[in-house]
Structure 1
Amino acid sequence: MRTILSAVALASFVWGTAPALAGEKDVTLYKNPQCGCCEGYADYLRDNGFTVTTKPTHDLAEMSRQAGIPDEFQGCHLSFIDGYVVSGHVPIDTVEKLLTERPDIAGVTLPGMPLGSPGMSGVKEAPFEMLEITTSGTIGGVYARE
């Protein structure tokens, strides 16, 4: 009887009646409470197949520092995706590259709020350069250009 109950519990977990485990398409996005472009970026991720939970915070700069991103390299918001940190309006191709290649880095950042980037209005003025956030908490070289 115990084996049958264990099997039923396991089956209900596997087939979705229990809470899902975080996967590569699950995103937690921290943003300043009144930021509209951050909501635009969350919608952009959703449009590209991600499940996004947004969490307003007044501690974004400190959270970014704790993630290894110096002030001058911080993006507009901070996302956690499948073990990586993604800071700012990073294009989906770079996010997918990160999740596919699985490099030994903490994540990537697109500093500031570049015009024409995903979630931002305006016209793109130059290629975006996404920088590596190293596992030692520094900024490495360019991870991707788009």
Structure 2
Amino acid sequence: MRQFQTMLLAAIIGLSGWAAADAGEKPKMTVFKTPWCGCCEAWTEIMTAEGYDVTVRDLEDLDPIKKQAGVPDNMQGCHTAVLDNYVLEGHVPVAAIDKLLSERPAVRGIAVPGMPQGAPGMGDDPDANYTVYSIGHDASETGAVFFEAGK
């Protein structure tokens, strides 16, 4: 159990060396989700189809993962992913991930709180309107609009 916790912590804080091998490759992604969540599974399938090498970790309780990743309560979605030293919380769209990886802002990650209809894994409607927020390294940096989906 201790080894598993150490592996999770390393993945969450980005010490696992999961950066892309070259500029043409997408970085590896680890998704922490509950085993019974179909929308989380649909989101991981979308990420795989987009070329990410996705590893899924099914856990019954995601609270410790979210806490270790520094995801505030008001930013929580139904799954947490780690990608190239960033946290992706909830049903983050591919366009927002692309923006994150191209701009490389000094944030902990990005989040789609809740489960908005039309988001990837929640109906996949490209015209759906919802907001992707930044998760800062402290509370004062969290909650800024990072990306507007469907606009």
TM over 0.5: yes
RMSD: 1.9
Q: SS of the counterpart of 2:143? A: strand
Does the alignment pair 1:143 with 2:146? yes
Unaligned segments of structure 1, at least 5 residues: 1-20
Cα offsets for 1:109-134 (capped at 9, x unmatched): 00011111101137678522111100
CA contact (8 A) 1:114 1:124 kept: no
Q: SS of the counterpart of 1:23? A: coil
Work out the CA distance in 2 between the residues paired with 1:134 and 1:29. 20
CA contact (8 A) 1:68 1:137 kept: no
Query: Which residue of 91, 94, 97 corresponds with 1:95?
Result: 97
Work out the CA distance in 1 between the residues paired with 2:60 and 2:123. 24
CA change 1:128–1:144 in 2 (3 A) is same
Unaligned segments of structure 2, at least 5 residues: 1-16, 21-26
CA change 1:112–1:33 in 2 (3 A) is same
Work out the CA distance in 2 between the residues paired with 1:90 and 1:66. 19
Percent identity, please: 38
Provide the residue aligned with 1:29 in structure 2.
Answer: 31
Work out the CA distance in 2 between the residues paired with 1:122 and 1:22. 27
Q: How many residues align?
A: 126
What does 1:10-21 align with in structure 2 at a 5 Å threshold? none
CA contact (8 A) 1:69 1:137 kept: no
What code does the residue aligned with 2:18 have?
A
Q: SS of the counterpart of 1:86? A: strand
Does the alignment pair 1:121 with 2:123? yes
Query: Which residue of 69, 72, 77 corresponds with 1:70?
Result: 72
What code does the residue aligned with 1:76 have?
C
Q: SS of the counterpart of 1:43? A: helix
What code does the residue aligned with 1:65 have?
K
What code does the residue aligned with 1:94 have?
A
Work out the CA distance in 1 between the residues paired with 2:36 and 2:49. 22
Provide the residue aligned with 2:23 in structure 1.
Answer: none
